[in-house]
Structure 1
């Protein structure tokens, strides 16, 4: 991009101001569960089309918009509860879609290992890698099912109708293979392999596999570098920083990677193409660098930490796109701007504006025309002016470890002795609560409750050492971190000690029971949503146990000694629960099977403890249907009002 064009466009950006609706009455429950939003916008290489994912209840589609007439998109519908995991244009008329399935609102979509291709003329998608035999969209040809799992690895640096695909085959799980695939015909040519299963490849602009990295069967991160035609494993111990390659610049001069020294937060670094002579680009002493903005030439221009309110550090500030990015930040104060997609020549780009109160709105920036157009929102039913502020803070745990807390403060309320809900996140490993919009927290705050979230040990965002500190500590140190957070908030008079409840989903549901057990008298009620309540059952029921990786993961995460498992299982400790309980569960849950909820209910019955019960027969790991989510939130609100009183009035 020429600097003259960039400077001219700065003048146009200076006139751009976000406009939001005025606040009114209490936000209805339906606004928080409404589906129908867009995500994953992808510009075609020539900048003439925009593909995006659309959610409409349980139905998902890929829409292809001509940018000169966005009123008439082409719609590619997916089977029920299938969602796009990734969308990528292979040339200006064809795209590939990696498929996933949605098991429940508490889980990220789970990759199906299948890839399809489509274009404007295809009535039916053509399989690139599919696991069931059927017919293709071109001429109704029969195709043979693949027995394995595939993902989109990357794209060529210049669109040529092909994409790179990595596979793990069912009959040979000890190998990961890389293919160059013609998206028009589906013909694939192997271009790389490594005799380690489930690895991700990092490729240079010439299509050569240079690195392979991922978790091995022992749940340990490993990384290999190609040198002289052989894969060599890089050392990862206390004497060698952990090295996670991200990608190469298109000029092939630089490799960008994340590095962690002694398990600390990840920094962003630039190295020579062979991974040597590292140069630090961005770092933070508390949180990992997690939000990086890239140019169309795959060069970073800004980066921000994963913790706190993300504040970007500009990299390569002399780049025209870096200057435009800074202007965009100034025109959307108190929000975060992230680049989403570029045309191949870089003259058009889609960017996203989001914040603690704004789920996300996408805009199209046209450098040649010198204008910005609003495209669509991730959730148009949310009025940011009616949402609550999220405040990241830090406190010190009882053993001296610094931790991050995020407080969602009811709009218009003074943060002083408020009725409070502890909201532990799921996972627990590698997942974290961030400053960005959180549906559960915003719903609770809209009902007048202060919401406390803690990034306990095991959470992501602070480096591998912080994650590892949670292993083996499900029912002990992690729960103490949550308890310490509640005591800190009470000591600061943020929360009223007489009006505190805990509500969590998945691992958070487990924590809802365990914090009550570990800290008698601290809480007035507990809500477990799709929770794990019997640790030993995880080895016999549910999808986590599957395969050698699953078994090794569970042994590291929760241990295998029966006495230890029982000592950290809420259903074995129900007699210690001294507050009313609400159990919410989907009967079709595969991650935390319905048997978990039934075991907890039976234990509460045996201990003569009060509880309420809400289940849905066809819901999975977290409710998915809007009507079921509305019912769930209404039950939560009623339960809170009954046990800790109504929330404060919000503006």
Structure 2
């Protein structure tokens, strides 16, 4: 694409560009931050005529699969609702008229989405449903096979849609084995493609349908990679360093070379192109602080990454070849949306239709379609049309040094229209704590707090994702130690930068963030003026006694590795065992049906505060799990949180202290 051709494209995009103003006089209703995006995870059909999405009912509990015609996005041609708390964990078009859906579950709004292991197929009109894999006694092959007692995963498909897809499975009885199948989504017939005696591995399949690599974590929690040898077996790719990561992601078209994500020391990362035997490595992009991603930055067939971005900080794109036609297309669209990130979600099979999304710190996102030949742009849908980006707050990614010299990332959300100094601040630790992270993208809770006048600080402490394996493992067994130090050091840094008022700091977090909301004030007495624990974990030994983690062998093994099992350490780092040290206003919020941090955690913390004669407030809800999903309950939480903060660090607290 030449610059001359870019001009009509830019003109076409003017029709889709947003118009933003600078007015933000009225207080934004709490309900606007409590509502759920009705459509997410869009995927274009192979012929570019339809789009599939995950549908979310306004009640927050009911999800499903929706299919729209590109010519009319006002009403789906098919809508299949799933049982409460179930949702499409993955969707794939196997032809222009048939889709495969992986069923998933989510334990509340802050819970991780998990797959049930069941795979379904359905026609574009909702007819001819079939149960392709799972433990239910239904589907076309029920009379000819034993029940699938295991987990099935969608693992890719041929580059030219032919009604087939690749399915990876792990048996319940033999979780130390991964098997890859070619599955006909119409007949449900399977053909085994590969098999390896390690569970939960991922396979890289070349365009000819031959599995070339498999990679993942073995039973010793070590990263392993295997390459297909000449005899059809698997040869191990040796790793010469403990935290080294190497993930083959695609074959370079017309060659034996591959694209791979690489982290030689487990610090930062790179995207490389190399021979499949490991030689002739060409580094496409390397970052010493952050891992490197190419997600949303691939061309149409034959697939190749045209750009990369770091997984931390601003989503700034670096083009592999700025003269590449797809790179020029990306640049031209980006020029029309300054301040936005741009993802190429999916192309039609012939490359003539491209579905893309734009998003920012102040906009949850919008999805559009562009014809790559005529540059005609068709807006498809807005994730949260009730959100006015011009009224939202700026989020800023900054770095600071922890007490031991480690460089950490902080995300600050600045209240709109207020001076950036001596602000009341809320520290908001993320959940996990491992392999989760806060990003620059729109965050409804941070935006709500900022709309009420608070500076919000989010710290990607040790254990967070996006920095490499070494950064994650350095946080193991440090829930109450190093991780809390990183959070506390972030608060001290924000105060030292004059962003925050040292006399008006509160901490609020969910899940592990709820744990930190109690533990950080214990570790740093006097720093925080209030604390709010939301669906928090307060008794570490209870993690091995109650909750859904105990029902999953792999999750329990990961917990033992990351949290530790020493009884004395678990007790010494449990907030409910140190409630007498919590000398500040406290609020506890919990769903009574929480399976990840069971309601017994709330009861333990409440009992400990009672025994220590500490005052506190509570908000609990029946039929809510790990984080509230009902908009009315989320709205009530936000309103109570705002009132609690106002009394302790907000204008209400200031006026009270100034009264004679």
Q: TM tier, shorter chain?
A: over 0.9
Aligned pair count? 646
Q: What is the Cα-based RMSD across aligned positions, in Å?
A: 2.2
Show the counterpart of 1:162: 164
TM-score by length of 2: 0.94
Residues 1:498 and 2:500 aligned together: no
TM superposition outliers: structure 1 runs of 4+ over 6 Å:
2-5, 140-144
Q: How far apart are residue 19 of structure 1 and its match?
A: 2.1
Q: Deviations over 1:9-35 (max 9, x none)?
A: 545456453224653411111111212
Show the counterpart of 1:103: 107
Q: 1:179, 1:6 → 2: CA distance?
A: 44
Residues 1:594 and 2:599 aligned together: yes
8 Å contact kept, 1:219–1:552: no
Match among 387, 390, 394 for residue 389 of structure 1: 394
Show the counterpart of 1:127: 131
Q: Deviations over 1:527-573 (max 9, x none)?
A: 00111111111111112234443343222222211111111110111
Residues 1:481 and 2:491 aligned together: no
Q: 2:145, 2:76 → 1: CA distance?
A: 29
Q: How far apart are residue 370 of structure 1 and its match?
A: 2.4
Q: 1:141, 1:558 → 2: CA distance?
A: 45
Q: 1:648, 1:568 → 2: CA distance?
A: 31
8 Å contact kept, 1:472–1:557: yes
Residues 1:280 and 2:311 aligned together: no
Which ranges in structure 2 are unaligned for 5 or more consecutive residues?
Answer: 655-660
Q: Deviations over 1:123-179 (max 9, x none)?
A: 36311113222356x9x9999742110010001011111000000011222210000
Residues 1:634 and 2:636 aligned together: no
Q: Deviations over 1:607-635 (max 9, x none)?
A: 11111111111111111111111111111
8 Å contact kept, 2:10–2:332: no
Q: Which moved more, 1:290-299 or 1:530-539?
A: 290-299
Q: 1:429, 1:251 → 2: CA distance?
A: 39
Q: 2:605, 2:63 → 1: CA distance?
A: 35
Show the counterpart of 1:557: 562
Residues 1:115 and 2:116 aligned together: no
Q: How far apart are residue 71 of structure 1 and its match?
A: 3.9
Q: How far apart are residue 274 of structure 1 and its match?
A: 3.7
SS at 2:313 equivalent:
coil
Q: Which moved more, 1:188-197 or 1:539-548?
A: 539-548
Q: 1:197, 1:27 → 2: CA distance?
A: 48
Residues 1:65 and 2:39 aligned together: no
Show the counterpart of 1:266: 269
Match among 398, 408, 414 for residue 409 of structure 1: 414
Residues 1:290 and 2:278 aligned together: no
Q: 1:475 to 1:38 in 2, by over 3 A?
A: same
Residues 1:47 and 2:48 aligned together: yes
Q: How far apart are residue 415 of structure 1 and its match?
A: 1.1
Q: 1:395, 1:151 → 2: CA distance?
A: 40
Show the counterpart of 1:527: 532
Q: Deviations over 1:393-449 (max 9, x none)?
A: 111111111111111000111110000000000111111111111111111101110
Residues 1:231 and 2:234 aligned together: yes
SS at 2:93 equivalent:
strand
Equivalence map 1:331-350=2 (5 Å): 331-350=336-355
8 Å contact kept, 2:99–2:124: no
Q: Which moved more, 1:367-376 or 1:88-97?
A: 367-376
Q: How far apart are residue 371 of structure 1 and its match?
A: 0.9
TM-score by length of 1: 0.95
8 Å contact kept, 1:23–1:386: yes
Q: Deviations over 1:359-386 (max 9, x none)?
A: 1110101123321111112222211111
8 Å contact kept, 1:9–1:367: no
Q: 1:574 to 1:264 in 2, by over 3 A?
A: same
Show the counterpart of 2:19: 19
Q: Which moved more, 1:516-525 or 1:283-292?
A: 283-292
Q: 2:74, 2:143 → 1: CA distance?
A: 33
8 Å contact kept, 1:6–1:321: no
Residues 1:419 and 2:424 aligned together: yes
Which ranges in structure 1 are unaligned for 5 or more consecutive residues?
Answer: none
Q: 1:497 to 1:150 in 2, by over 3 A?
A: same
8 Å contact kept, 2:73–2:380: no
Q: 2:496, 2:322 → 1: CA distance?
A: 44
Q: 1:507, 1:225 → 2: CA distance?
A: 38
Q: 1:101 to 1:440 in 2, by over 3 A?
A: same
Residues 1:91 and 2:95 aligned together: yes
8 Å contact kept, 1:447–1:648: no
Q: 1:557, 1:454 → 2: CA distance?
A: 19
8 Å contact kept, 1:13–1:328: no
8 Å contact kept, 2:10–2:333: no
Q: 1:227, 1:640 → 2: CA distance?
A: 61
Q: 1:184, 1:626 → 2: CA distance?
A: 39
Q: How far apart are residue 355 of structure 1 and its match?
A: 0.5
Q: 1:390 to 1:647 in 2, by over 3 A?
A: farther
Q: 2:275, 2:602 → 1: CA distance?
A: 53
